[in-house]
Amino acid sequence: MDGFIQFFQDYLLLIYLLIFTIILGFEVISKVPTVLHTPLMSGANAISGVVVIGGILLVRQSESEDVLSMALGMVAIVLGMINAVGGFAVTDRMLEMFKKKKK
Amino acid sequence: MYLEFISQLGYLIGSVCFVWGLKLLSSPDTARRGNIIAAVGMAAAIIAILLAPMERGDNNFALIAGGLVLGGGLGLFMAYKVKMTGMPQMVSILNGLGGASAVVIATVEMSHYYDGSRPMSDSQLLIPLATLLIGGIAFTGSLLAWWKLEEWINDNALTLPKHNIFNLLLLAVIVALGVWLFIQGPEASFGLAMLFMGLSLLYGFSFVIPIGGADMPVVISLLNSFSGLSAAAAGLIYGNNFMLVGGILVGASGTILTLLMCNAMNRSLLNVLVGGFGGSSGPAKAQQGDLVIREVSLNDAAIQLFYSQSVVFVPGYGLAVAQAQKVVKEVDEILEKNGVDVKYAIHPVAGRMPGHMNVLLAEADVPYPKLLDLEEANDFIANADVAVIIGANDVVNPAAEDDPSSPIYGMPVLQVWKAKHVIVLKRSMRAGYAGIDNMLFFHPRNKMLFGDAKDTLGKLVGELKGL
């Protein structure tokens, strides 16, 4: 129990940020029309590629001799980057189709 | 000091871009710009993290650059290679990769924690544990969802007897092990942490196993949410606010879509996860005496469509499988030229992911004002001359309204039987993906047109041109 209280106190500011971001997220996206469900999902999906930042941090903070960290960090960067770039690109492709027949 | 300031500014810009981009993504006119703004936000953050001064480590910029280029290249390649009919698979794969990346990061940081090179306070340990759990579920769950969508794995092939109880027990073991690792702190071993990861990965598989075809849109949205949350949790490992904000926004959007999909089926999330559809439901009653199926010839169907005033197409997953979206548009054009009012009725859970039908029809250049949501569609259908069902089944099943014993009873459906005539395009008399018989096929106003949807529609175009 003490551990959890400690956790709460250590991360109080982040917990605020967490809760406000949740509320903001719901507010921003709550009224999305059916036609945009897939692009919204794949666009949001691309954003979850932020995990690539973690991979970069991991590699930058590693010693060059630490082969395990370097190798796995590289894997994390590649996977995160596929998620981010692939997600944004495919969403753009989809939305381009939506666009051209609007005229 | 300036570098640190610039990188902090980069994060701030990135976060604002994410929120702004998502806001624009939720309106048709601005969606494309929104996506680009979100991408700019990501780029800003990547530059920020490359500039930020580090207290330890060797930077290893060459390796990072290699990873960024390789990952970015692969991502672009996949994005331009994928067919629009393969979108659900693509989204699943991307969901899974995000989760996998988070798991890898947490694994490395855990190994550093146990060998003493990365001290964490007792409470901090909770974060990598949460990352392993959520990321693991997002990874293997998406992997299995992908395989199911490719139909490499049959929906019911892996379901154990009492699978839900197995899942609950597995989750209980995982949580217990997690709490134990948390309490033990550095006394526990890296091996046990890896066991925790392994069980989380197993749970990801196990939790998607019993969820089948028609519930796929819910699962994909839920996994989308998990991949965001795992990125947020990975961000907490480094105390990185930007990753937290990005991940949580994805978590929120995934959750909203999940709830929308559940509402569209009038079921609770729990009900979907525990699995009401598919194998677990009893066989629906079929034979009720004098059920007759009427078939219609291509020529008759063509004449009927050609001389109607209003026609509504009801696409479903079968349209995606047959890749028939462009042929539908051809039929649509011919009919429009003859003054027929053509609309498309889109059920929110038609297909295998939220908005699946919209994407396919957009690819075929169908203008989106012609796509009607559930309620508009039902109003339109009530006055329509012909409703043409293309590869949809459960979303047009009257049992949802009149058969309390049916597993889909209570789900809002497209009331196609209210149109003056119904034509169902179907490969065979197989039951829908939910495994439920559809009394619509025996309805007095319904006629069947058997065959592959693309093939049949192609022939229909020929007949129509001959009229």
The DSSP-derived string for A78-94 is: HHHHIIIIIHHHHHHHH
> In what order do the strands lie in the sheet containing B421-426?
B371-372, B341-345, B310-315, B386-390, B421-426, B446-450
Among chain B residues, the shortest Cα distance to A61 is held by B57
Residues 221-240 of B with CB under 8 A from A: 221, 224, 227-228, 230-232, 234-240
- Residue A44 sits at the chain B interface (C-beta within 8 Å): yes
pLDDT value for B185: 83
Specify the CATH number for the domain of residue B398. 3.40.50.1220
Of the two residues B35 and B265, the one the predictor is more confident about is B35
Q: Which two tokens stand for residue A102?
A: 């609007």
pLDDT value for B279: 40
Q: What is the mean pLDDT of residues B121-125?
A: 79
- Residue A74 sits at the chain B interface (C-beta within 8 Å): yes
Residue A90 distance to chain B (closest CA, Å): 5
Active site residues of B: 394
Say which range, B17-21, B212-216, B218-222, B320-324, has the weakest mean pLDDT.
Answer: B212-216
Is residue B291 assigned to a domain?
no
Q: Do B90 and A90 touch (CB under 8 A)?
A: yes
Structural domain containing residue B460: 298-466
Domain identity same for A23 and A45: no
Domain identity same for A26 and A56: no
Domain identity same for B92 and B233: yes
Domain identity same for B374 and B459: yes
- Report ipTM for this prediction: 0.91
Is residue B3 assigned to a domain?
yes
Q: Do A38 and B373 touch (CB under 8 A)?
A: no
Domain identity same for B58 and B194: no
Structural domains in chain B (count)? 3
Residue B202 distance to chain A (closest CA, Å): 20
Among chain A residues, the shortest Cα distance to B102 is held by A51
Facing A25 at nearest CB: one of B42, B253, B371 = B253
Q: What is the mean pLDDT of residues B303-317?
A: 89
Domain identity same for B174 and B272: yes
Domain identity same for A79 and A45: yes
Q: Residues A55, A58, A60, A65: what is their CA dihedral angle, to the nearest 10 degrees?
A: -120
Is residue B292 assigned to a domain?
no
* Mean per-residue pLDDT of chain B: 86
Facing B64 at nearest CB: one of A6, A24, A56 = A56
Neighbours of B23 (CB within 10 A): 17
Contacts of A92 in chain B (CB under 8 A): 32, 35-36
Say which range, B7-11, B146-150, B336-340, B463-467, has the weakest mean pLDDT.
Answer: B463-467
Asked if residue B439 lies in contact with residue B317, where contact means CB atoms within 8 angstroms, the answer is no
Q: Which two tokens stand for residue B55?
A: 């207290």
Is residue B100 assigned to a domain?
yes
Domain identity same for B142 and B275: yes
Pairing mode, strands B341-345 and B371-372? parallel
Return d(Cα B172, Cα B161) in angstroms, integer.
Answer: 18
Percent residues over pLDDT 90 in chain B: 33
Domain identity same for B142 and B70: no
Residue A15 distance to chain B (closest CA, Å): 10
Q: What is the mean pLDDT of residues B405-427?
A: 85
pLDDT value for B285: 44
What pTM did the predictor assign? 0.85
Domain identity same for A85 and A44: yes
Say which range, B42-56, B156-170, B238-252, B368-382, has the weakest mean pLDDT.
Answer: B156-170
pLDDT at B291 over 60: yes
Question: Per residue in B62-77, is it b (16+ CB within 10 Å) or e — as a string?
Answer: ebbeebbeebbebbbe
Residue B299 distance to chain A (closest CA, Å): 31
B4-12 contact pairs (CB < 8 A, 24+): B4/B52, B4/B53, B6/B48, B6/B51, B7/B48, B7/B49, B7/B51, B7/B52, B7/B53, B8/B48, B9/B48, B10/B44, B10/B45, B10/B47, B10/B48, B10/B49, B10/B51, B11/B44, B11/B45, B11/B48, B11/B241, B11/B242
Say which range, B116-125, B141-150, B282-291, has the weakest mean pLDDT.
Answer: B282-291
Neighbours of B56 (CB within 10 A): 10
Return d(Cα B308, Cα B4) in angstroms, integer.
Answer: 68
Facing B248 at nearest CB: one of A18, A46, A59 = A18
Asked if residue B258 lies in contact with residue B225, where contact means CB atoms within 8 angstroms, the answer is yes
Facing A85 at nearest CB: one of B36, B76, B241 = B76
Domain identity same for B373 and B459: yes
pLDDT at B105 over 80: yes
Domain identity same for A49 and A19: no
Structural domains in chain A (count)? 2
